[in-house]
Structure 1
Amino acid sequence: MEEAAGLIAPAATMIAAMMTAANLGARVTGWGFVVFTLGSLAWSAVGFASGQTNLLATNLFLTLVNIVGIWRWLGRQRGYEDGARRAAERSREAAAPSLFAASALAGLPGSDIRGEEIGKTVDAMIECESGRLSYVVVASGGLGGVDETLRAMPASLLECHADGLVLLMSEAEFAKRDTLGSAAWPACPPRGRGSEVPPGREGGRPGKDVAHVAAQ
Protein backbone atom coordinates (compact mmCIF):
# COMPACT_ATOMS: atom_id res chain seq x y z
CA MET A 1 0.00 0.00 0.00
CA GLU A 2 2.79 2.39 0.89
CA GLU A 3 4.45 1.79 -2.49
CA ALA A 4 1.21 2.44 -4.39
CA ALA A 5 0.51 5.59 -2.37
CA GLY A 6 4.07 6.75 -3.03
CA LEU A 7 3.41 6.52 -6.77
CA ILE A 8 -0.07 8.07 -6.71
CA ALA A 9 0.80 11.01 -4.43
CA PRO A 10 3.32 12.89 -6.62
CA ALA A 11 1.49 12.07 -9.87
CA ALA A 12 -1.86 13.33 -8.54
CA THR A 13 -0.26 16.45 -7.08
CA MET A 14 1.43 17.39 -10.37
CA ILE A 15 -1.68 16.74 -12.47
CA ALA A 16 -3.88 18.72 -10.06
CA ALA A 17 -1.44 21.63 -10.06
CA MET A 18 -1.60 21.83 -13.87
CA MET A 19 -5.41 21.63 -13.87
CA THR A 20 -5.86 24.47 -11.38
CA ALA A 21 -3.09 26.67 -12.80
CA ALA A 22 -4.59 26.45 -16.31
CA ASN A 23 -7.69 28.39 -15.16
CA LEU A 24 -9.96 26.63 -17.68
CA GLY A 25 -13.19 27.27 -15.83
CA ALA A 26 -14.99 26.15 -12.70
CA ARG A 27 -15.37 22.51 -13.73
CA VAL A 28 -11.72 21.90 -14.59
CA THR A 29 -10.54 23.80 -11.51
CA GLY A 30 -13.01 21.89 -9.32
CA TRP A 31 -11.86 18.54 -10.65
CA GLY A 32 -8.31 19.73 -10.08
CA PHE A 33 -9.15 19.99 -6.39
CA VAL A 34 -10.62 16.48 -6.53
CA VAL A 35 -7.28 15.22 -7.85
CA PHE A 36 -5.48 17.32 -5.22
CA THR A 37 -7.58 15.53 -2.58
CA LEU A 38 -6.52 12.16 -3.97
CA GLY A 39 -2.91 13.31 -3.79
CA SER A 40 -3.15 14.63 -0.22
CA LEU A 41 -4.80 11.40 0.94
CA ALA A 42 -2.04 9.40 -0.74
CA TRP A 43 0.62 11.58 0.94
CA SER A 44 -1.19 11.06 4.25
CA ALA A 45 -0.99 7.30 3.73
CA VAL A 46 2.74 7.59 3.02
CA GLY A 47 3.22 9.66 6.16
CA PHE A 48 1.24 7.21 8.30
CA ALA A 49 3.01 4.13 6.93
CA SER A 50 6.47 5.64 7.27
CA GLY A 51 5.88 7.26 10.64
CA GLN A 52 6.40 10.80 9.29
CA THR A 53 4.05 12.70 11.58
CA ASN A 54 4.68 16.09 9.96
CA LEU A 55 3.86 14.74 6.49
CA LEU A 56 0.69 13.12 7.80
CA ALA A 57 -0.53 16.20 9.68
CA THR A 58 0.23 18.57 6.82
CA ASN A 59 -1.66 16.53 4.25
CA LEU A 60 -4.64 15.90 6.50
CA PHE A 61 -4.95 19.68 6.76
CA LEU A 62 -4.50 20.04 2.98
CA THR A 63 -7.27 17.48 2.47
CA LEU A 64 -9.66 19.78 4.35
CA VAL A 65 -8.50 22.74 2.23
CA ASN A 66 -9.04 20.71 -0.95
CA ILE A 67 -12.57 19.77 0.13
CA VAL A 68 -13.34 23.49 0.50
CA GLY A 69 -11.92 24.00 -3.01
CA ILE A 70 -14.19 21.26 -4.39
CA TRP A 71 -17.24 22.90 -2.81
CA ARG A 72 -16.26 26.35 -4.04
CA TRP A 73 -15.50 25.42 -7.66
CA LEU A 74 -17.58 22.32 -8.41
CA GLY A 75 -20.46 23.52 -6.26
CA ARG A 76 -20.92 27.26 -5.97
CA GLN A 77 -18.87 28.65 -8.88
CA ARG A 78 -20.02 25.98 -11.32
CA GLY A 79 -23.61 26.86 -10.44
CA TYR A 80 -22.95 30.51 -11.22
CA GLU A 81 -21.39 29.66 -14.58
CA ASP A 82 -24.24 27.30 -15.48
CA GLY A 83 -26.82 29.97 -14.66
CA ALA A 84 -25.04 32.56 -16.81
CA ARG A 85 -24.60 30.12 -19.70
CA ARG A 86 -28.26 29.09 -19.69
CA ALA A 87 -29.40 32.71 -19.60
CA ALA A 88 -27.19 33.46 -22.60
CA GLU A 89 -28.54 30.45 -24.50
CA ARG A 90 -32.17 31.40 -23.80
CA SER A 91 -31.57 35.01 -24.83
CA ARG A 92 -30.49 33.90 -28.31
CA GLU A 93 -33.89 32.25 -28.77
CA ALA A 94 -35.94 35.07 -27.26
CA ALA A 95 -37.22 38.26 -28.87
CA ALA A 96 -34.71 40.31 -26.89
CA PRO A 97 -31.07 41.39 -27.17
CA SER A 98 -28.62 38.50 -26.84
CA LEU A 99 -26.78 38.26 -23.54
CA PHE A 100 -23.43 36.98 -22.40
CA ALA A 101 -21.86 36.83 -18.95
CA ALA A 102 -19.62 39.76 -18.06
CA SER A 103 -17.25 37.34 -16.33
CA ALA A 104 -16.77 35.60 -19.68
CA LEU A 105 -15.08 38.68 -21.15
CA ALA A 106 -11.75 37.75 -19.60
CA GLY A 107 -10.10 35.25 -21.91
CA LEU A 108 -12.64 35.71 -24.71
CA PRO A 109 -10.99 35.46 -28.15
CA GLY A 110 -10.90 38.60 -30.28
CA SER A 111 -10.84 38.41 -34.07
CA ASP A 112 -10.45 41.02 -36.79
CA ILE A 113 -13.04 41.83 -39.46
CA ARG A 114 -11.81 38.87 -41.52
CA GLY A 115 -12.41 36.44 -38.68
CA GLU A 116 -8.73 35.88 -37.89
CA GLU A 117 -8.03 35.63 -34.16
CA ILE A 118 -5.56 38.31 -33.08
CA GLY A 119 -5.72 38.14 -29.30
CA LYS A 120 -7.73 37.52 -26.16
CA THR A 121 -9.48 39.93 -23.84
CA VAL A 122 -7.82 40.52 -20.49
CA ASP A 123 -10.55 42.56 -18.82
CA ALA A 124 -13.20 45.18 -19.45
CA MET A 125 -13.86 48.62 -17.97
CA ILE A 126 -17.47 49.60 -17.21
CA GLU A 127 -18.78 53.16 -16.79
CA CYS A 128 -19.98 53.55 -13.21
CA GLU A 129 -22.90 55.90 -13.83
CA SER A 130 -24.32 54.47 -17.06
CA GLY A 131 -23.30 50.83 -16.63
CA ARG A 132 -22.15 50.76 -20.25
CA LEU A 133 -19.07 49.02 -21.54
CA SER A 134 -16.32 51.62 -21.95
CA TYR A 135 -13.47 49.58 -23.41
CA VAL A 136 -11.82 46.20 -23.27
CA VAL A 137 -8.12 45.42 -23.07
CA VAL A 138 -6.93 42.88 -25.63
CA ALA A 139 -3.68 40.95 -25.22
CA SER A 140 -1.79 39.71 -28.26
CA GLY A 141 1.53 38.04 -28.94
CA GLY A 142 3.78 36.46 -26.36
CA LEU A 143 3.54 32.97 -24.92
CA GLY A 144 1.57 32.12 -21.81
CA GLY A 145 1.29 35.79 -20.88
CA VAL A 146 5.03 36.40 -21.23
CA ASP A 147 5.99 39.26 -23.57
CA GLU A 148 2.36 39.91 -24.53
CA THR A 149 1.17 43.31 -25.76
CA LEU A 150 -1.91 45.07 -24.38
CA ARG A 151 -4.15 47.45 -26.34
CA ALA A 152 -7.41 49.19 -25.40
CA MET A 153 -10.40 48.76 -27.70
CA PRO A 154 -13.40 51.11 -27.27
CA ALA A 155 -16.87 49.61 -27.24
CA SER A 156 -17.72 51.46 -30.47
CA LEU A 157 -15.26 49.25 -32.35
CA LEU A 158 -16.48 45.94 -30.94
CA GLU A 159 -19.18 43.44 -31.76
CA CYS A 160 -20.06 40.85 -29.14
CA HIS A 161 -20.84 37.29 -30.18
CA ALA A 162 -21.40 34.13 -28.18
CA ASP A 163 -18.02 32.73 -29.19
CA GLY A 164 -15.93 35.90 -28.98
CA LEU A 165 -15.47 39.56 -29.82
CA VAL A 166 -15.10 40.96 -33.32
CA LEU A 167 -12.79 43.96 -33.58
CA LEU A 168 -14.08 46.20 -36.35
CA MET A 169 -10.69 46.68 -37.96
CA SER A 170 -7.97 44.70 -39.69
CA GLU A 171 -5.09 43.07 -37.87
CA ALA A 172 -2.75 45.70 -39.35
CA GLU A 173 -4.91 48.52 -37.96
CA PHE A 174 -5.01 46.81 -34.57
CA ALA A 175 -1.21 46.52 -34.54
CA LYS A 176 -0.88 50.30 -35.06
CA ARG A 177 -2.82 51.16 -31.92
CA ASP A 178 -0.93 52.40 -28.87
CA THR A 179 0.19 49.73 -26.44
CA LEU A 180 -0.55 49.85 -22.71
CA GLY A 181 1.62 49.27 -19.69
CA SER A 182 0.35 46.61 -17.30
CA ALA A 183 -0.38 49.31 -14.69
CA ALA A 184 -1.16 52.24 -17.01
CA TRP A 185 -4.60 51.65 -18.46
CA PRO A 186 -6.43 54.79 -19.66
CA ALA A 187 -9.08 56.51 -17.54
CA CYS A 188 -11.12 57.14 -20.69
CA PRO A 189 -11.69 54.99 -23.78
CA PRO A 190 -9.68 55.81 -26.91
CA ARG A 191 -11.86 57.45 -29.55
CA GLY A 192 -12.69 55.85 -32.88
CA ARG A 193 -9.86 54.15 -34.73
CA GLY A 194 -7.28 56.35 -33.07
CA SER A 195 -5.77 55.42 -29.77
CA GLU A 196 -5.25 58.81 -28.21
CA VAL A 197 -7.00 59.87 -25.01
CA PRO A 198 -8.61 63.33 -25.22
CA PRO A 199 -6.42 66.02 -23.61
CA GLY A 200 -7.29 66.79 -20.02
CA ARG A 201 -9.09 63.47 -19.48
CA GLU A 202 -6.13 61.31 -18.44
CA GLY A 203 -7.02 61.57 -14.77
CA GLY A 204 -10.77 61.98 -15.16
CA ARG A 205 -13.11 60.28 -12.74
CA PRO A 206 -14.72 57.15 -14.24
CA GLY A 207 -18.43 57.57 -14.76
CA LYS A 208 -19.50 61.08 -15.70
CA ASP A 209 -16.24 62.07 -17.42
CA VAL A 210 -16.01 58.80 -19.31
CA ALA A 211 -19.64 59.00 -20.40
CA HIS A 212 -19.07 62.55 -21.63
CA VAL A 213 -16.09 61.52 -23.74
CA ALA A 214 -17.90 58.47 -25.12
CA ALA A 215 -20.74 60.68 -26.28
CA GLN A 216 -18.43 62.91 -28.32
Structure 2
Amino acid sequence: MTTADLAGWIALVATTIAAVMTAANLGARITGFGFIVFTVGSLSWVTVALGKGDQPQLLYSNIFLTGVNLIGIWRWLGRQARYDEGGAVAARRSAAAQAPTLFAGGALIGAPLTGQGDAKLGQVVEAMMRCDGAALAYLVVSEGGVGGVGERLHALAPEGLRFGHDGVTCGLTAAALAALPVLEKEGWPASA
Protein backbone atom coordinates (compact mmCIF):
# COMPACT_ATOMS: atom_id res chain seq x y z
CA MET A 1 0.00 0.00 0.00
CA THR A 2 1.42 3.39 -0.99
CA THR A 3 1.43 6.51 1.16
CA ALA A 4 -1.23 8.02 -1.13
CA ASP A 5 -3.44 4.92 -0.70
CA LEU A 6 -3.11 5.03 3.09
CA ALA A 7 -3.80 8.77 3.09
CA GLY A 8 -6.91 8.11 0.97
CA TRP A 9 -8.31 5.75 3.60
CA ILE A 10 -7.47 8.17 6.42
CA ALA A 11 -9.12 10.99 4.44
CA LEU A 12 -12.27 8.93 3.86
CA VAL A 13 -12.64 7.93 7.52
CA ALA A 14 -11.75 11.37 8.90
CA THR A 15 -14.11 13.22 6.54
CA THR A 16 -16.98 10.86 7.35
CA ILE A 17 -16.49 11.10 11.12
CA ALA A 18 -16.08 14.89 10.97
CA ALA A 19 -19.27 15.27 8.94
CA VAL A 20 -21.23 13.34 11.58
CA MET A 21 -19.66 15.34 14.41
CA THR A 22 -20.51 18.72 12.91
CA ALA A 23 -23.94 17.75 11.58
CA ALA A 24 -25.00 16.38 14.98
CA ASN A 25 -24.78 19.90 16.46
CA LEU A 26 -23.89 18.59 19.92
CA GLY A 27 -22.34 21.84 21.10
CA ALA A 28 -19.37 24.06 20.43
CA ARG A 29 -16.71 21.62 21.64
CA ILE A 30 -17.90 18.62 19.58
CA THR A 31 -18.32 20.83 16.51
CA GLY A 32 -14.83 22.28 17.05
CA PHE A 33 -13.29 18.83 17.36
CA GLY A 34 -15.22 17.91 14.21
CA PHE A 35 -13.33 20.66 12.40
CA ILE A 36 -10.04 19.26 13.73
CA VAL A 37 -10.96 15.88 12.25
CA PHE A 38 -12.01 17.65 9.01
CA THR A 39 -8.52 19.22 8.94
CA VAL A 40 -6.94 15.76 9.22
CA GLY A 41 -9.16 14.69 6.32
CA SER A 42 -8.35 17.66 4.09
CA LEU A 43 -4.61 17.32 4.75
CA SER A 44 -4.88 13.63 3.92
CA TRP A 45 -6.66 14.50 0.64
CA VAL A 46 -3.78 16.91 -0.10
CA THR A 47 -1.38 13.99 0.44
CA VAL A 48 -3.44 11.84 -1.95
CA ALA A 49 -3.39 14.58 -4.61
CA LEU A 50 0.37 15.06 -4.25
CA GLY A 51 0.99 11.30 -4.29
CA LYS A 52 -1.07 10.70 -7.42
CA GLY A 53 0.34 13.79 -9.12
CA ASP A 54 -2.48 14.22 -11.64
CA GLN A 55 -5.27 15.60 -9.46
CA PRO A 56 -4.81 19.38 -9.20
CA GLN A 57 -8.53 19.95 -8.43
CA LEU A 58 -8.31 17.67 -5.41
CA LEU A 59 -5.12 19.41 -4.29
CA TYR A 60 -6.37 23.00 -4.62
CA SER A 61 -9.84 22.35 -3.19
CA ASN A 62 -8.40 20.67 -0.11
CA ILE A 63 -5.78 23.35 0.46
CA PHE A 64 -8.71 25.79 0.48
CA LEU A 65 -10.78 23.48 2.74
CA THR A 66 -7.88 23.22 5.19
CA GLY A 67 -8.05 27.01 5.57
CA VAL A 68 -11.83 26.85 6.06
CA ASN A 69 -11.39 24.09 8.65
CA LEU A 70 -8.86 26.18 10.58
CA ILE A 71 -11.43 29.00 10.70
CA GLY A 72 -13.99 26.45 11.97
CA ILE A 73 -11.60 25.36 14.73
CA TRP A 74 -11.07 28.98 15.80
CA ARG A 75 -14.82 29.71 15.62
CA TRP A 76 -16.02 26.68 17.62
CA LEU A 77 -13.13 25.87 19.97
CA GLY A 78 -12.05 29.46 20.51
CA ARG A 79 -14.75 32.04 20.11
CA GLN A 80 -18.01 30.06 20.60
CA ALA A 81 -16.56 27.86 23.34
CA ARG A 82 -15.54 31.02 25.23
CA TYR A 83 -19.11 32.35 24.96
CA ASP A 84 -20.63 29.03 26.04
CA GLU A 85 -18.25 28.71 28.99
CA GLY A 86 -18.94 32.29 30.12
CA GLY A 87 -22.68 31.63 30.13
CA ALA A 88 -22.25 28.32 31.91
CA VAL A 89 -20.06 29.88 34.62
CA ALA A 90 -22.57 32.67 35.22
CA ALA A 91 -25.41 30.15 35.40
CA ARG A 92 -23.47 27.95 37.87
CA ARG A 93 -22.69 30.95 40.09
CA SER A 94 -26.32 32.03 40.15
CA ALA A 95 -27.39 28.45 40.92
CA ALA A 96 -25.08 28.47 43.93
CA ALA A 97 -26.72 31.66 45.20
CA GLN A 98 -29.82 31.42 47.38
CA ALA A 99 -32.01 32.55 44.50
CA PRO A 100 -30.77 31.33 41.08
CA THR A 101 -31.46 34.03 38.54
CA LEU A 102 -29.49 33.28 35.36
CA PHE A 103 -29.96 30.92 32.47
CA ALA A 104 -27.60 31.00 29.47
CA GLY A 105 -29.65 32.10 26.46
CA GLY A 106 -27.29 30.27 24.12
CA ALA A 107 -28.23 27.02 25.84
CA LEU A 108 -31.93 27.58 25.16
CA ILE A 109 -31.99 26.34 21.57
CA GLY A 110 -31.89 22.57 21.69
CA ALA A 111 -32.90 22.45 25.35
CA PRO A 112 -35.36 19.70 26.25
CA LEU A 113 -38.94 20.59 27.17
CA THR A 114 -40.21 18.65 30.18
CA GLY A 115 -43.84 18.53 31.25
CA GLN A 116 -45.96 17.03 34.00
CA GLY A 117 -44.40 14.06 35.76
CA ASP A 118 -40.98 14.88 34.26
CA ALA A 119 -42.20 13.61 30.88
CA LYS A 120 -39.97 14.62 27.96
CA LEU A 121 -42.31 16.51 25.63
CA GLY A 122 -40.03 17.95 22.97
CA GLN A 123 -37.22 20.35 22.29
CA VAL A 124 -36.86 24.13 22.09
CA VAL A 125 -36.00 25.11 18.51
CA GLU A 126 -36.35 28.91 18.67
CA ALA A 127 -36.95 31.80 21.04
CA MET A 128 -38.86 34.81 19.74
CA MET A 129 -38.01 38.07 21.52
CA ARG A 130 -40.06 41.26 21.68
CA CYS A 131 -38.39 44.34 20.21
CA ASP A 132 -40.35 46.73 22.42
CA GLY A 133 -38.86 45.72 25.74
CA ALA A 134 -36.45 42.85 25.14
CA ALA A 135 -38.79 40.32 26.72
CA LEU A 136 -39.38 36.76 25.59
CA ALA A 137 -42.53 36.66 23.43
CA TYR A 138 -42.67 32.86 23.10
CA LEU A 139 -40.67 29.70 22.63
CA VAL A 140 -41.07 27.50 19.59
CA VAL A 141 -40.96 23.86 20.59
CA SER A 142 -40.81 20.76 18.44
CA GLU A 143 -42.65 17.55 19.25
CA GLY A 144 -43.20 14.35 17.34
CA GLY A 145 -41.37 13.16 14.28
CA VAL A 146 -37.84 11.84 13.90
CA GLY A 147 -34.88 14.05 13.02
CA GLY A 148 -37.17 16.91 12.03
CA VAL A 149 -39.28 14.79 9.67
CA GLY A 150 -42.91 14.79 10.79
CA GLU A 151 -42.26 17.15 13.70
CA ARG A 152 -44.89 19.65 14.79
CA LEU A 153 -43.96 23.12 16.02
CA HIS A 154 -45.90 24.95 18.73
CA ALA A 155 -45.58 28.38 20.36
CA LEU A 156 -45.41 28.44 24.17
CA ALA A 157 -45.91 31.67 26.07
CA PRO A 158 -43.24 32.37 28.69
CA GLU A 159 -45.83 32.46 31.49
CA GLY A 160 -45.84 29.02 33.04
CA LEU A 161 -42.36 28.12 31.80
CA ARG A 162 -39.46 27.54 34.13
CA PHE A 163 -35.89 27.71 32.86
CA GLY A 164 -33.15 25.66 34.45
CA HIS A 165 -29.80 24.04 33.81
CA ASP A 166 -31.51 20.88 32.61
CA GLY A 167 -33.84 22.64 30.14
CA VAL A 168 -37.30 24.17 30.16
CA THR A 169 -40.17 22.86 32.27
CA CYS A 170 -43.88 23.47 31.77
CA GLY A 171 -47.13 22.19 33.24
CA LEU A 172 -48.35 20.52 30.04
CA THR A 173 -48.89 16.88 29.24
CA ALA A 174 -47.86 15.37 25.90
CA ALA A 175 -51.52 15.37 24.80
CA ALA A 176 -51.99 19.02 25.79
CA LEU A 177 -48.86 20.06 23.87
CA ALA A 178 -49.95 18.11 20.79
CA ALA A 179 -53.38 19.78 20.96
CA LEU A 180 -51.86 23.29 20.67
CA PRO A 181 -52.05 24.96 17.24
CA VAL A 182 -49.30 23.86 14.88
CA LEU A 183 -47.06 26.64 13.58
CA GLU A 184 -46.82 26.73 9.82
CA LYS A 185 -43.67 27.96 8.12
CA GLU A 186 -45.27 31.20 6.96
CA GLY A 187 -47.56 31.70 9.96
CA TRP A 188 -45.56 32.24 13.12
CA PRO A 189 -47.52 34.62 15.34
CA ALA A 190 -46.45 37.96 16.81
CA SER A 191 -47.20 36.51 20.26
CA ALA A 192 -48.26 33.18 21.73
Q: Name 1:98's counterpart in structure 2.
A: 101
Aligned pairs, number: 189
Moved more, 9-18 or 122-131: 122-131
For 1:54 and 1:180, the matched residues in 2 are separated by 45
Structure 2 counterpart of 1:140, from 139, 143, 164: 143
Q: Once superposed, which parts of structure 1, at least 4 consecutive aligned residues long, lie more than 3 Å away? A: none
2:92 aligned residue: 89
Unaligned runs of 5+ in 2: none
> Whole-Å Cα distance in 2 between the matches of residues 63 and 170 of structure 1?
48
The one of 172, 176, 180 equivalent to 2:175 is 172
Give the one of 34, 41, 44 matched to 1:42. 44
Does residue 55 of the first structure (1) align with residue 58 of the second (2)? yes
Structure with the bigger RCO (C-alpha within 8 Å, sep 6+) is 2
- RMSD over aligned CA atoms reads 1.2
Q: Which of 4, 7, 15 is equivalent to 1:5?
A: 7
CA distance in 2, matches of 1:157, 1:173: 14
TM-score, normalised by the number of residues in structure 2: 0.94
1:124 alignment partner, SS class: strand
Provide the secondary structure at the position in 2 that maps to 1:88.
Answer: helix
Q: What's the offset of the Cα at 1:95?
A: 4.0
Gaps of 5+ in 1: 190-216
Give identity over the alignment, percent: 48
Q: 1:69 aligns with which of 68, 72, 75?
A: 72
Letter in 1 for 2:139: V
Distance in 2, matches of 1:6 and 1:122, equals 38
Residue 157 of structure 1 and its aligned partner are, at CA, apart by 2.2
CA distance in 1 between counterparts of 2:56 and 2:179 reads 60
Alignment pair present for 1:128 and 2:125: no
